[in-house]
Chain A
Amino acid sequence: MSNENWQLYEIFIRSAKGLSHRHVGSVHAADPEMAIEAARDIYTRRNEGVSIWAVPSSAITASDPDAAEELFEPAKSKIYRHPTFYEIPEGVENM
């Protein structure tokens, strides 16, 4: 018997308290609990994590790279959303 029909899970790890979970790779497992156990062995052998998320790969919807231009363009043109856009008189501090 092979593990052909095992789900692929994407693994996210929180590296230290206070930081968000970050994608580190994937594992194959028969169920979500075993995915966590496998991820523990594969991705945290050196204390890399304090928390693991396992998400079925099939549950992830990703943006289309070919549509990236239209998707991100609206933000690109709005430079006034950054503090560096504004001029402040010389000598004014703490802003």
Chain B
Amino acid sequence: MYTTDLRSAEEKRKAARAKVVEDPEKLAEFQARIDRDEFIEPKDWMPEAYRRTLIRQISQHAHSEIVGMLPEGNWITRAPTFRRKLILLAKVQDEAGHGLYLYSAAETLGVARDELVDQLHEGKAKYSTIFNYPTLTWADIGAIGWLVDGAAITNQIPLCRCSYGPYARAMQRICKEESFHQRQGYEAMAALMRGSKEQRRMAQDAMNRWWWPALMMFGPPDSVSIHSAQSMKWKIKRYSNDELRQRFIDATVPQAHAIGLEVPDPELKFNEETGHWETGPIDWDEFWAVVAGDGPCNYDRMDARRSAHDEGAWVREAAAAHAAKRAGTRAA
């Protein structure tokens, strides 16, 4: 998802037209550094396209962390126990931290955080499609931690070795924090599956709704994902969408079975020869519709983001006033 290019064909064409001509010698030198597994640091020379790809990807990733707080935040006040409430609060707070580490990494590429946040609020930036689905019951919180954070981890682990130093370092920090996110979600699902018939039904219903969107988080199939080749060459991306998706499926199906959940896919089968789980076809029309803004919650998410920003204006004003007052006291 985070490495997925979510731009429309028109947006991609526009970007291609804006291409800058780079010095071939510098380009070759740059590629040689990447091939030697060196890290690229903020002040190093880099091709404009590398810089732009990273700004787009890192900011899209940061936006996903921030918007990702909304579906889960929906349940903080209604968590079933105090323990679950503390856990959920800590998790959502972590996601805010992840967003900030990533904005901080993006800023090293010469873009201002304000600018990126404005792009999001103006609807010009993309974020992971998964956060445009609603959290209808408490079981959705379990499903998100287990499946959504699980898919995110699968995607993010290779990014810890990506060629851009600040992004790689932010990802290492994030990955360290993510593992509790997945475990707490799975634990919540397992608890429901040990519960009443109604609780088991609720868990299965959440599984049914989140399974396919979670698989879509890895982005379109390799057969149509043209943009990946360049990112692979630059070591911004190290595995293809389909490879990562398969890794996630193989890890997750047995976890579902272990707690008695069914995978909502009549065509799912284990291939003894390859040792992989094979799924039925993914509905890519749904994916592209959600990218284009037709998900169940696209409007709500942006509305919530914008009003949080607008209603928080007084906090920024108060901080500025406080800073001015403190500076006055210091000067006196």
A contact residues vs B (CB 8 Å cutoff): 1-4, 8, 24-31, 33-34, 41-43, 45-46, 62, 64-66
Partner of B323 from A31, A62, A64 at Cβ < 8 Å:
A31
B320 surroundings in chain A (CB, below 8 A): 1, 30
Cβ B113 vs Cβ A28 within 8 A: yes
Distance of B289 from chain A, by nearest CB (Å): 33
Q: Give chain A residues whose Cβ lies under 8 Å from the Cβ of B19.
A: none
Of B72-80, B96-104, B254-262, the one touching chain A: B96-104
Can you sample 18 A-B contacts with CB below 8 Å?
A1-B313, A1-B316, A1-B317, A3-B114, A3-B319, A4-B114, A25-B101, A29-B319, A30-B316, A30-B323, A31-B322, A31-B323, A34-B319, A34-B323, A43-B97, A46-B177, A62-B43, A65-B45
Contacts of B93 in A (CB 8 A): 45
Q: Is A25 a contact of B104 with CB atoms below 8 Å?
A: yes
Chain B: number of interface residues, binned into ranges: 20 to 34
* SS class, residues of chain A in contact with chain B: mixed
Given A3-B114, A25-B170: A45 and B104 interface contact (C-beta under 8 Å): no
Complex Cα spacing A62 to B114, Å: 24
Q: Check if B222 is an interface residue, CB within 8 A of chain A.
A: no
Task: Identify B41's interface contact among A2, A29, A42, A65, CB under 8 A.
Answer: A65
Instruction: Determine the distance from Cα of A4 to Cα of B90 in the docked complex, in whole angstroms.
Output: 28
Residues of A within 8 A of B114 (CB): 2-4
Are A26 and B104 in contact, with the CB atoms below 8 A? yes
Beta-carbon contact of A45 and B326 below 8 Å: no
Q: Smallest distance from the beta carbon of A55 to chain B beta carbons, Å?
A: 14
CA distance A41 to B327 in the complex (A): 23
A26 touches B317 (CB 8 A): no
Residues of B within 8 Å of A41, CB to CB, are 97
The yes or no answer to B198 lying at the interface (CB within 8 A) is: no
User: Which of the residues A33, A34, A45 comes within 8 Å of B94, measured between beta carbons?
Assistant: A45
Q: What are the residues of chain A within 8 A of B317 when measuring CB–CB?
A: 1
